[in-house]
């Protein structure tokens, strides 16, 4: 009898403690204000292209079977764009045995007729990876990138991985020269176009990131026009994909996922995002290019060794 009473008293006390906790929580909710951005950014080393990079902490990994693997994001219906790429800058890729590429597309809820077209294209070209259970949408681009990274982690072994969109023009020769001649790190290294000033996290509109709680500004990140990752960083994301938080913007997600690592992020202004900022004879990625401009730039490259059409 005494034991039953003592248990009853314990239950009552526990219930009272829970009620007290709920009352205090509602009256004084925890402060989830973002942490100080400077503290998080202190883990990164943002540099400008052609500046000295300290290689003391980097080690060369065994030479992989591929020097570079190019990830090309495409929509399943972009049949014409893929063909234009194959007949322009991808020609400089296929003639180099140490560089490989694949297009990546999802086909869930894609029309049967277009699926058939895509299936025939895939059989003919053998350069498209299809995720049949993935539905293409701009809000799911980050999920798509995670799927791709898991695929390349399981199916490739390259030293560097370059991500571009199918509306980007890549000057392959210039990129190879950069990777070979500028003595870039082989580990813990990313390269892309990085905003000079921190950007506030979007809270409204098409690109609002309601899941971002790290700080009031995005962590430094390479914009989605095109960026390069070493194998170890790509594998880190792929292996830990189920642990990583979701962010609507694929490029800002890269910054968030790698933000706590001790790695080098190189800001390279030879990448021209969003179709702007003109053109010069140093650029190696031009973003937001129409099919006409993809073809025009390739003709200029073959004829005059420049991709600038003006």
Mean pLDDT of 107-128: 93
Domain extent, residue 176, equals 37-304
Asked whether residue 210 is domain-assigned, the answer is: yes
Neighbour count for residue 43 (Cβ, 10 Å): 13
Asked whether residue 161 is domain-assigned, the answer is: yes
**Res 50: pLDDT:** 35
Neighbour count for residue 134 (Cβ, 10 Å): 19
On whether both 43 and 24 belong to a single domain, the answer is no
Q: Are 61 and 231 in contact (CB under 8 A)?
A: yes
Round to whole Å and give the CA distance between 243 and 138: 22
Could you give the number of structural domains in the chain?
A: 2
**Res 142: pLDDT:** 87
Give Rg (Cα) of the chain. 24
Closest CA to 195 of 161, 165, 225: 225
**Res 147: pLDDT:** 94
Dihedral angle sign, alpha carbons of residues 75, 228, 161, 217: negative
Asked whether residue 25 is domain-assigned, the answer is: yes
On whether both 72 and 219 belong to a single domain, the answer is yes
Q: Identify how many contiguous H helices and E strands the chain contains and give both numbers.
A: 10, 11
Residue 179 above 50 pLDDT?
A: yes
Residue 193 above 70 pLDDT?
A: yes
Asked whether residue 309 is domain-assigned, the answer is: no
Q: Are 248 and 207 in contact (CB under 8 A)?
A: yes
On whether both 78 and 138 belong to a single domain, the answer is yes
On whether both 25 and 93 belong to a single domain, the answer is no
**Res 200: pLDDT:** 73
On whether both 146 and 59 belong to a single domain, the answer is yes
On whether both 17 and 149 belong to a single domain, the answer is no
pLDDT tens by residue, 197-238: 677 777 766 766 766 667 777 778 888 889 999 999 999 999
On whether both 10 and 54 belong to a single domain, the answer is no
Q: Grade residue 169 by pLDDT with cuts at 50, 70 and 90.
A: very high
On whether both 107 and 2 belong to a single domain, the answer is no
Higher local confidence (pLDDT), 208 or 184: 184
Task: Read off the CATH number of the domain in which 186 is found.
Answer: 3.90.550.10
- Give the percent of the chain with pLDDT over 90: 50
Higher local confidence (pLDDT), 227 or 136: 227
**Res 45: pLDDT:** 45
On whether both 12 and 54 belong to a single domain, the answer is no
How do 169-170 and 285-286 pair as beta strands?
antiparallel
On whether both 26 and 109 belong to a single domain, the answer is no
Asked whether residue 61 is domain-assigned, the answer is: yes
On whether both 161 and 261 belong to a single domain, the answer is yes
Q: Are 186 and 161 in contact (CB under 8 A)?
A: no
Both tokens assigned to 204: 């409204």
pLDDT tens by residue, 3-52: 455 666 666 666 666 555 544 444 433 333 344 455 344 444 444 343 33
Both tokens assigned to 272: 């021209």
On whether both 48 and 128 belong to a single domain, the answer is yes
pLDDT tens by residue, 243-283: 887 777 888 888 888 988 889 999 998 998 876 666 888 99
**Res 4: pLDDT:** 54
Highest mean pLDDT among 139-148, 250-259, 290-299: 290-299
Residue 55 above 50 pLDDT?
A: no
Asked whether residue 250 is domain-assigned, the answer is: yes
Beta bridge partners of residue 230, listed in sequence order: 160
Asked whether residue 310 is domain-assigned, the answer is: no
Residue 249 CA: distances (Å) to CA of 8, 195, 210, 283? 53, 15, 11, 25
Asked whether residue 212 is domain-assigned, the answer is: yes
**Res 56: pLDDT:** 31
**Res 5: pLDDT:** 52
Q: Which of the residue ranges 7-11, 92-96, 237-241 would you say has the lowest mean pLDDT?
A: 7-11
Closest CA to 249 of 105, 136, 143: 143
DSSP reduced 3-state for 228: strand
Residue 69 above 90 pLDDT?
A: yes
Tell me the whole-structure pTM to 2 decimals.
0.78
């Amino acid at each position: 009898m005494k034991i039953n009473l003592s248990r009853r008293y314990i239950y009552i006390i526990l219930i009272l403690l829970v009620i007290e906790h709920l009352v205090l929580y509602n009256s004084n909710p925890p402060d989830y204000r973002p942490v100080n951005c400077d503290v998080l950014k202190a883990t990164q080393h943002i540099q400008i292209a052609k500046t000295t990079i300290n290689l003391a902490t980097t080690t060369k990994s065994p030479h992989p079977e591929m020097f570079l693997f190019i990830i090309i994001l495409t929509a399943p219906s972009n049949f014409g764009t893929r063909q234009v790429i194959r007949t322009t800058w991808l020609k400089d890729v296929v003639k180099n045995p140490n560089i490989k590429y694949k297009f990546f597309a999802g086909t869930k809820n894609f029309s049967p007729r277009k699926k058939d077209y895509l299936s025939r294209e895939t059989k003919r070209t053998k350069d498209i990876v299809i995720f049949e259970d993935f539905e293409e949408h701009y809000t799911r681009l980050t999920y798509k990138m995670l799927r791709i990274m898991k695929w390349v982690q399981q199916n490739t072994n390259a030293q560097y991985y370059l991500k571009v969109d199918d509306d980007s023009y890549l000057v392959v020769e210039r990129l190879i020269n950069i990777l070979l001649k500028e003595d870039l790190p082989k580990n813990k290294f990313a390269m892309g176009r990085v905003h000079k000033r921190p950007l506030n996290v979007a809270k409204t509109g098409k690109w609002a990131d309601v899941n971002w709680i790290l700080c009031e500004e995005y962590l430094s990140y390479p914009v989605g026009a095109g960026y390069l990752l070493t194998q170890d960083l790509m594998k880190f994301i792929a292996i830990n994909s189920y642990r990583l938080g979701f962010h609507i913007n694929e490029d800002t997600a890269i910054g968030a996922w790698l933000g706590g690592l001790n790695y080098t992020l190189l800001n390279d202004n030879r990448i021209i995002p969003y179709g702007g900022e003109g053109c010069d004879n140093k650029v190696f990625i031009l973003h937001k290019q129409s099919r006409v401009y993809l073809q025009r730039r390739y003709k200029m490259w073959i004829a005059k060794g420049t991709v600038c059409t003006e």
